[in-house]
Amino acid sequence: MQIILAQDADATRWDNYVCSKHDASPYHLYAWRQAIEDAYGQKGYYLIAEDINGAICGILPVIHIKPPLVSAQLCSLPYCDRGEALADSADITDMLVSKALEVMDQTGADRYDYRSTVDEEAALDPEQDTVGVPKVRMLLDLPESSDALLSSFKAKLRSQIRKAEKNGLTFEIGNDDSMVSDFYHVFTNNMRDLGSPTHSRKWFECIRRYYADRCIISIIRHEETAIGAGLVLFTDNTAAIPWASTLRSYNRLAPNMLLYWSLLARATDAGCDYFDFGRSTLGEGTYRFKKQWGARPVRLIWQSLPADNKISDSNSTTKKGSMRQVAETIWRKLPLPVTVFLGSTVRKYISL
- C-alpha–C-alpha distance, residues 196 and 188, integer Å: 9
Handedness of CA 290, 296, 297, 299 (dihedral sign): negative
Q: What is the pLDDT of residue 129?
A: 52
Domain count within the chain: 2
Residue 37 gets the label, from left (phi > 0), alpha (psi -120 to 50) or beta, of: alpha
- Candidates 106, 109, 113, 43; CA nearest to 72 is 109
Determine, yes or no, domain membership for 299: no
The DSSP string of 174-186 is E-SHHHHHHHHHH
- What's the DSSP call for residue 41? -
Can you give the residue range of the structural domain that contains 172?
Answer: 143-272+329-349
For the domain that residue 264 is a member of, what is the CATH number?
3.40.630.30
Q: What is the pLDDT of residue 284?
A: 87
Point out which residues pair with 63 in neighbouring strands.
Answer: 44, 75
Residues 25 and 91 grouped into a single domain:
yes
Residues 155 and 113 grouped into a single domain:
no
- C-alpha–C-alpha distance, residues 62 and 275, integer Å: 24
| Distant-in-sequence, close-in-space partners of 274: CB < 8 Å, separation ≥ 6 | 139, 140, 141, 142, 237, 238, 239
Q: What is the pLDDT of residue 318?
A: 43
Cβ(190)–Cβ(246) below 8 Å: yes
Cβ(295)–Cβ(260) below 8 Å: no
How many residues are present in the chain?
352
Cβ(135)–Cβ(281) below 8 Å: yes
Q: What is the pLDDT of residue 323?
A: 54
pLDDT per residue as tens digits for the range 190-210? 999 888 899 999 999 999 999
Tell me the whole-structure pTM to 2 decimals: 0.91
Determine, yes or no, domain membership for 30: yes
Determine, yes or no, domain membership for 126: no
pLDDT per residue as tens digits for the range 123-177? 555 555 545 557 899 999 999 999 999 999 999 999 999 999 999 999 999 999 9
Determine, yes or no, domain membership for 130: no
Alpha helix segments (H runs only) across 128-243: 146-152, 155-166, 177-194, 201-211
Q: How many CB atoms lie within 10 A of CB 323?
A: 8
Determine, yes or no, domain membership for 259: yes
Helix axes of 201-211 and 30-40: crossing angle, nearest 10 degrees? 150
Residues 179 and 41 grouped into a single domain:
no
* Low-confidence residues in the chain, pLDDT < 50: 121-122, 130, 307-313, 316-320
Residues 198 and 345 grouped into a single domain:
yes
Q: What is the pLDDT of residue 336?
A: 86
Residues 207 and 335 grouped into a single domain:
yes
- Paired sense of beta strands 274-281 and 296-306, if any: unpaired
Residues 7 and 107 grouped into a single domain:
yes
- C-alpha–C-alpha distance, residues 147 and 215, integer Å: 23
Domain end residue (candidates: 79, 102, 117): 117
